[in-house]
Structure 1
Amino acid sequence: MMDSITVKKEIVKFEDGQLIDEEDLIVTEYPLTIILNQQEFATMVCTPSELDELVIGFLASEGVIRFRDEIKSLHIDSGQGYAYVETVAEVSTSQEYYSKRFIGSCCGKGRQFYFVNDAKTAKTSTSTLTLTPEECISLMNEMQQSSTIFKDTGGVHNAALCSPTNMIVNRTDIGRHNALDKIYGHCLINKIPVRDKVIVFSGRISSEVLLKAAKIGVGIVLSKSAPTDLAIKMADELNITAVGFIRGGKLNVYTHPERIVQLQDSFENTP
């Protein structure tokens, strides 16, 4: 049986000058190994939810597949922590494109940067979508308010796919890249067009996060935190609008600011 998303643990808490015995809710850390066409491909440490979306999104992000129907079968043995995937066409796992690796749950630890397949699958955005600053702030607030697991544990990242006015789907995981892969997998399974959508994200915009967004195909990434310098360089090159520090009614636009527009006062020219 698959582990639950959270578990209860007895802890000792220091509060108001006293040590108190208390029960706390802890997020689950779950290893999932992908067996691709009978060969071990990668092991992810993740939150055990939406695992089918995670596997499909990860394989698409790695360039193994482009569409859901390229997978002939997908079986997840949640008790043992394995995902068995068979693809319709033969897939090359040449070291030129992939490496068998352990993928850590946070901060990109254990991940190698910018494989050939990253360059092949990261899309230069052609999105013409625009948002107002107020819409950016509203979408961030909506995502944060919907994150019950973060409120309960404080131990997860959140990502959401949004239209300019509402959240379409949100996903939670201990790994920031996993949360984005779940979004990607959901889009592929449900054939959701993404060019007119936005990624809203709880963590900082690292180069890895920016690449994930580019692979999904969106043109705007919103974050409550900061970007890295390499992420900004990539966003500029890939024609992606990166917006950070969305908090307290403020935000910073780091790249392609033409997509963030201020509405004109409708009474501006009234006599």
Structure 2
Amino acid sequence: MLTYENNVASWVEDKVATEFACTIKINGEEYTTIVCTPDHLEELIAGFLLSEKILSRIEDIKNLWIDERDGLAHVTAENVNELFKRFLTKRYITSCCGKGRTGFYFLNDARTAKVMKPYRLSISIEDCFRMMEQLHQSATVFQETGGVHNAALCDQNGIVVTRADIGRHNALDKIYGYCLQNQISLHDKVLIFSGRISSEILIKCAKIGCEIVVSKSAPTELALDLADQLGITTVGFVRGKSLNIYTHTDRIHGKHGGSS
């Protein structure tokens, strides 16, 4: 590429993020296409199918193989939820606990998002800083390309698994797929995220069952409305030694006051 810096132009080699379109076929029938980063694809497909409740159990996947040349994920599965295709893109807006015209954009999201049970997990403010720093140190693909989102699943001891993808939700599906394949519970874990907390990300966290999400960036208003409804603690703008706790603050202990 041609780069320009300090009034000097030069030709240099650079690494860029890869986009890959992967079409999922279940029992020979095409379901949907995911645009993603082409690594950990089996985890991505498993995580997507289970988080979207197309399948209910990881055991329902009898065979899964990726044809990277043709961009296909072939899945042989039992107990496929046929309602998924009907609701995949059906818009569905509902009020959030009487707070106005906000809520789920798609009916499938409303059907599959979980309300978290209250406060099974608590972490400290220092844990938030430490986990975010660990995510930053592990983000090698981002450091090379600047073109992916990074996510990590952490427990009190640090990172359990970290994944990167051009799609925010894909990174979470890869983590969920890894946990499903390795029988790792998410209920006592924290999701650490490099990108903003959008409504899409918040709903994905609810679907896979994480009650705390911590981000380097900002949340959106709709994401916070949904977090309030679904019982999810949201922490944003984790930078240096500062952060903001937006919803269900009692899960974060340290030198702060108040609750929501």
2:112 is aligned, of 109, 121, 135, to 121
> What does the per-residue CA deviation read over 1:3-22, in whole Å, with 9 as the maximum and x for residues that have no partner?
xxxxxxxx011122110111
1:96 and 1:120 map into 2 onto residues whose CA distance is 12
Is 117-126 or 219-228 further displaced after alignment? 117-126
Aligned residues: 242
Provide the C-alpha distance between the structure 1 equivalents of 2:107 and 2:16, rounded to a whole number of angstroms: 37
Counterparts of 2:201 and 2:194, CA distance in 1: 11
Unaligned runs of 5+ in 2: 91-103
Q: How does 1:76-91 map to 2 (within 5 A)?
A: 76-91=66-81
Distance 1:163 1:50 in 2: 22
State the 1:93 CA deviation.
Answer: 4.5
Query: Structure 2-normalised TM-score?
Result: 0.89
CA displacement, residues 226-253 of structure 1 (integer Å, 9 cap, x when unaligned): 0001100110111100000000110000
CA distance, structure 2, for counterparts of residue 115 and residue 92 of structure 1: 16
Q: CA deviation at 1:90?
A: 4.3
Determine the C-alpha separation between the residues in 1 that align with 2:80 and 2:211: 32
Is the contact between residue 61 and residue 76 of structure 2 (CA under 8 Å) also seen in structure 1? yes
Equivalent in 188, 203, 206 of residue 180 of structure 2:
188
Partner of 1:39: 29
SS, match of residue 254 in structure 1: strand
Higher mean alpha-carbon deviation, 33-42 vs 141-150, is at 33-42
Question: What's the TM-score, normalizing by structure 1?
Answer: 0.85
Query: Counterpart of 2:69 in 1: which secondary structure?
Result: coil
Within 5 Å, which residues of 2 pair with 1:73-112? 73-93=63-83, 95-99=85-89
Partner of residue 227, structure 1: 219
- Partners in 2 of 1:129 and 1:36 — Cα distance? 36
Q: Deviation of residue 165 (structure 1)? A: 3.0
Partner of 2:10: 20
Amino acid at match of 1:153: T
Runs of 4+ in 1 over 3 A off after TM superposition: 93-96
Amino acid across the alignment from 2:206: A
Distance 1:137 1:33 in 2: 38
Identify which of 130, 139, 144 aligns with 1:152.
144
Which amino acid is the alignment partner of residue 67 of structure 1? R
**What's the CA shift for 1:206?**
0.3
CA RMSD, aligned part only? 1.7
Q: Which residue of 1 aligns with 2:135?
A: 143
1:70 to 60, 68, 82: 60
CA contact (8 A) 1:139 1:165 kept: no
Moved more, 66-75 or 170-179: 66-75
